[in-house]
Amino acid sequence: MSKKIIYLLSLLMALSLVFASCKKNAAGTGDLTPPPVDTETGKEDANQSTGLFEDWTKIPTDAAIREYEVFQNTGRDTYRNPVVVSVGNGVVFAFGEIRYETPGAANDVGINGENTVDIVYKSSQNSGYDWDSQLKYVGGQAGSKDKAHGAPNVFLLNDNKTIVVVATSGSGIGRTAQLMTAGRPASKVDYIVGTISGANINWDAKGWQEVQLSGTDTIYKKINEVKAGGPSSSTFNFNQYGTVPGKGLVENNTILLSLVLAYQHDTSDPYELMGRYVLKGTVSGTSSISWSAVGNPIAYSDNENQKLGKWKETQLYGGDSTTPKFYIVPSPWTSSPQFKLGKAKGQSETPQATTITASEGAAGYAAFPTGGWFGKGKYTIKPGGTMDATGGKSYSIFTHVQDTGENLALYVVDNSAGDFKVQGSPWKVSVKDVTGTAAKSSSVDVLPDGTIIAGFEHGRPAEVPEGFDANKLYKVFFTRYSQAYIATKTANQ
């Protein structure tokens, strides 16, 4: 055999190996795995340092400003529960959780005492145009299930320099085959304080610290005194608690934290009874927070003679410690699901249904600065990329799934009366090059120039690992939109 033929055969074999290494089983189709979503518009017209727009006429209005697959699922590790936070001056953080070797537990909860989960983040200095190439870990990598943290609730204090992450640990609100009374670790919620320096966060050397009430009472003691509900012949008390991922509420540098209370039983005989317990955290110095209760724990199913309650996770979106405001997602598993978002106000009110179609999962909410919604109308941007929020309407953006695990929607709402009155119509969110309707948790915030950023669990990866439920695998995106673009999509002016 000639050297030329040997060379050609060797080259052909090498190319075959390269092609084989690139080829993926795209959901069983044998197609090539598509590249991560990475599209942008208007970058050349924005401030080249901050990514903020300083001229309203330069803001893109007929397309998304940014669509980026900020956390890319790899192998059998999955990313969930995105939280986006704007610090100002173009600095943006995107938080999420990485679930090692698992998409979730029963009830689709990452933290259950059996799984290893980390909270991770990436940062951008120019409003989401460019991102870190490497993942960063909140408080370092867990390394084991007993140090796992998930469902990040992220609080940016008023100084725009101090950031607090509160997260679920222990058994959280996860359901497993083992009862809580059969040796599972207790539910726990921890916090960690960080100091923002540019686009970096320096986490306090104390690391994760447990959220504990001041005085002799413990969180578990207080919630375990409350009847969660259930059939009258076997009424149960709450025995688990955890957080809901999202941007947290800060009142004059005081953290307001809404804990989710749960009674879940086990996977062979599932219950799903939930409620809330609100705490107030006062930050002392640079690392310590003292916690106290705001009112008493509230049960949502106390008077219902059923194992699966009508309501699930609660999120704080406004008000203060005297009159907190909540929205509550409905359960699709109850015997008579209503698929309507709930609302509540004050320390003891139970959920009342709104008109917004909804299912389970963490929702996103962000209020514009007072008078800061202009829709398609022109507004003034001050030097440095800060909008002049006068003359517009005081509306908010709300994002959530309309159905169980699918159909993510974005709403413009007038929430001045606390009733989530939809303006125009919902926009069923689409991301370029992403097919399908799979979706779950979301988060949203407003940049200084009046544009809107979001974190979405949306779409599915092309490759579904063996043994994984494709319906629980999502891609995690960072997106950015102009007001005018959202106004067009939601039939607003």
Q: Does the structure show a pLDDT above 60 at 19?
A: no
pLDDT cut 70: percent of the chain above it: 92
* Structure confidence at residue 232 (pLDDT): 82
Mean pLDDT, rounded, for 93-103: 91
Write the pLDDT tens digit of every residue in 289-314: 999 999 999 999 866 678 999 999 99
Task: Please tell me the distance from the alpha carbon of residue 84 to that of residue 389, in angstroms, as a whole number.
Answer: 22
Least confident of 16-20, 161-165, 177-181: 16-20
Q: What angle do CA 401, 407, 412 make, to 5 degrees?
A: 60
* Structure confidence at residue 59 (pLDDT): 98
Mean pLDDT, rounded, for 16-31: 39
Write the pLDDT tens digit of every residue in 448-487: 999 999 999 998 877 788 888 777 788 999 999 999 999 9
* Structure confidence at residue 105 (pLDDT): 63
Task: Please tell me the distance from the alpha carbon of residue 66 to that of residue 349, in angstroms, as a whole number.
Answer: 39
Q: Does the structure show a pLDDT above 80 at 330?
A: yes
**Residues 286, 482 contacting (CB under 8 angstroms):** no
Q: Does the structure show a pLDDT above 90 at 261?
A: yes
Only one residue has tokens 């938080």, namely 95
Write the pLDDT tens digit of every residue in 213-232: 988 899 999 999 999 998 88
* Structure confidence at residue 106 (pLDDT): 62
Q: Average pLDDT over the chain, rounded to whole? A: 90
Mean pLDDT, rounded, for 358-382: 97
Tokens for 290? Answer: 């003292």
In 10 A of CB 2, how many CB atoms? 7
- Three-state SS string over the chain comes to CCHHHHHHHHHHHHHHHHHHHHCCCCCCCCCCCCCCCEEECCHHHCCCCCCCCCCHHHCCCCCCCEEEEEECCECCEEEEEEEEEEEECCEEEEEEEEECCCCCCECCCCCCCCCCEEEEEEEECCCCCCCCCCCEECCCCCCCHHHCCEEEEEEECCCCCEEEEEEEEECCCCECCCCHHHCCCCEEEEEEEEEEECCEEEECCCCCEECCECCCCCHHHHHHCCEEECCHHHCEECCEEECCCEECEEECCEEEEEEEEEEEEECCEEEEEEEEEEEEEEEECCCEEEEEEEEEEEECCCCCCCCECCEEEEEEEEECCCCEEEEEEECCCCCCCCCEEEEEECCCCCCEEEEEECCCCCCEEEECCCCCECCCCCCCEECCCEECCCCCECCEEEEEEEECCEEEEEEEEECCCCCCEEEEEEEECCCCCCCCCEEEEEEEEECCCCCEEEEEEECCCCCCCCCCCHHHCCEEEEEEECHHHHHHHCCCC
* Structure confidence at residue 473 (pLDDT): 83
Q: What is the set of domains in the chain, with CATH numbers?
A: 47-489 (2.120.10.10)
Mean pLDDT, rounded, for 417-423: 93
Taking the model in full, what pTM does it have? 0.92
* Structure confidence at residue 2 (pLDDT): 54
Q: Does the structure show a pLDDT above 70 at 31?
A: no
Write the pLDDT tens digit of every residue in 105-161: 666 788 999 999 999 999 999 999 999 999 999 999 999 999 999 999 999 999 999
Least confident of 216-220, 319-323, 333-337: 333-337
Q: Does the structure show a pLDDT above 50 at 21?
A: no
* Structure confidence at residue 112 (pLDDT): 93
Task: Please tell me the distance from the alpha carbon of residue 212 to that of residue 286, in angstroms, as a whole number.
Answer: 18
Task: Please tell me the distance from the alpha carbon of residue 455 to that of residue 67, in angstroms, as a whole number.
Answer: 10
Write the pLDDT tens digit of every residue in 180-192: 989 899 999 999 9
Q: How confident is the model at residue 16 (pLDDT cuts 50, 70, 90)?
A: very low
